[in-house]
Amino acid sequence: MSGRLAGRRALVIGAAPGNLGDVIARLYRAEGAEVTVAGRREAATAELAAEIGAIGIAADITVEADLDRLFAQIDERLGGIDIAVNASGWGLLVPFLQCSREEIDRMCALQFAGPFQFFQRAVAMMSREGAGGGSLIQISSVTAQIMMDDHAAYMGTKAGFDHVMRCIAHEFGPAGIRANSLAPGGIADTPMSGGGLNLPQVAALYAREIPLGRPGVAAEVADAALFLASDESRFVTGQTIHVSGGQTLRRNPRFAEVAALFAEAN
């Protein structure tokens, strides 16, 4: 198979049918990569893998034993990886004063500790003798830079992990490892934010705050993930690249504005 990733071995964790990880994995496969998709739901992971011609391995990023098993199976089957993408996340919306310790712990496990251990294993595999390095990609969020109501645990862990990616880039650049974050804005066709953005009132508010005048779609984020995985970005590392139509130049709508629009409509 020819393409911009021909001969590369890519791992995408957090991939499930219809989400951003799915779209990235499909594009990598179309561009010639040998793709492994990983997710905590075994049936969904197997379904996606079969559909796109990938390897599917059930693994929960928050479970260390799952990560050990994931990387051991990849090593056995492929002999290593060249690209590792973390597309896992949980879009928790809860007011700051109401966020429970259980929710905080779950968020930290999914969006900080789990990714930390995932990329530890990817770095170890990419930096061993003869491996030649590779590209690490963390899916972050525009909200790691601009505010959104009732989203502190999500935003804080995403922002913190962007800095971890810079630390990896700094320490492991000499091993040929590049580490970058991709920060989407609202994506209209994925489960996390698509439902709200498909409401005309909400879409209009976001269009006002995005210089390019519309929400993004998953394919546009996947294009950026392809760039970071390919040789075209061979001198790009330690960066957070925003795929948000310029939204960081403005802001997210306040929830009160959304509520007011719905009140007017009713």
By annotation, the residues acting in catalysis are 154
The DSSP call for residue 3 is: S
Q: What is the residue-wise DSSP string for 195-259?
A: HHHTSHHHHHHHHHHSTTSS-B-HHHHHHHHHHHHSGGGTT--S-EEEESTTGGGS-PPPHHHHH
Q: Cα separations (Å) of 165 from 25, 88, 115, 170, 229?
A: 21, 15, 10, 9, 15
b (16+ CB within 10 A) / e for 34-62: bbbbbbbeeebbeebbeebebbbbbbbbb
Amino acid at 142: V
